[in-house]
Amino acid sequence: MIRTWQRFSALALSSALVMIEACSDHGTPTMTTPAPTDSSVRWTLVSSPTNRRLSSVRMTGITTGFAVGDSGTYLYYGGGTAWGTVNVGPTQHFKNFYGVEGNGSGPVWLVGDSGTILYAPTTFGGWSQQTSNVLVTLFSISRVSGTSELFAVGAGGVIIHSLDGGSAWTSQLSPIPDALFFAGGLADTNFFAAGQAGTGAHFNGTTWSSDVTGVNVNLRSGAAAGTTTSPLTDVWLVGDGGTILHSTSGASGTWSTQPSGTTQNLFGITADSATRAFAVGAAGTILHWEGTKWNAMPTPTTVNLRAIARGFSAPVDYWVVGDSGTILHGTQ
Q: Is residue 10 part of a domain?
A: no
> Would you state the pLDDT for residue 21?
36
> Would you state the pLDDT for residue 234?
87
Q: How far apart are CA 109 and CA 71, in angstroms?
A: 16
Q: Are 280 and 304 in contact (CB under 8 A)?
A: no
The CA-CA-CA angle for residues 21, 22, 23, to 5°, reads 140
pLDDT in tens, 34-54: 666 898 999 999 999 999 999
Q: Is residue 73 part of a domain?
A: yes
- The CATH number of the domain holding residue 221 is 2.130.10.10
Classify the C-alpha dihedral 9-88-115-171 as positive or negative.
Answer: negative
Q: Is residue 127 part of a domain?
A: yes
Q: Is residue 9 part of a domain?
A: no
> If you write DSSP's letter for every residue of 283-298 in order, what string do you get?
GG-EEEE-SS-EEE--
**What is the span of the domain harbouring residue 257?**
16-331
> What's the whole-number mean pLDDT along residues 132-156?
96
Over 60: is that where the pLDDT of 230 sits? Answer: no
Percent of the chain exceeding pLDDT 90 equals 76
Q: What is the CA radius of gyration of the chain?
A: 17
Confidence band for 187, pLDDT divided at 50, 70 and 90: confident
Q: Is residue 113 part of a domain?
A: yes
3-state helix, strand and coil shares in percent for the chain, rounded to the nearest 5? 5, 45, 50
Work out the number of other CB atoms within 10 angstroms of the CB of residue 167.
11
Predicted TM-score (pTM) of this structure: 0.89
Q: Is residue 150 part of a domain?
A: yes
Domain count, the chain: 1
Over 70: is that where the pLDDT of 27 sits? Answer: no
pLDDT in tens, 238-286: 999 999 999 988 889 999 999 999 999 999 999 988 899 999 999 999 9
Q: Is residue 200 part of a domain?
A: yes
Over 80: is that where the pLDDT of 145 sits? Answer: yes
In Å, what is the CA distance from 280 to each residue of 132, 196, 266? Answer: 30, 18, 6
> Would you state the pLDDT for residue 14?
33
Q: Is residue 233 part of a domain?
A: yes
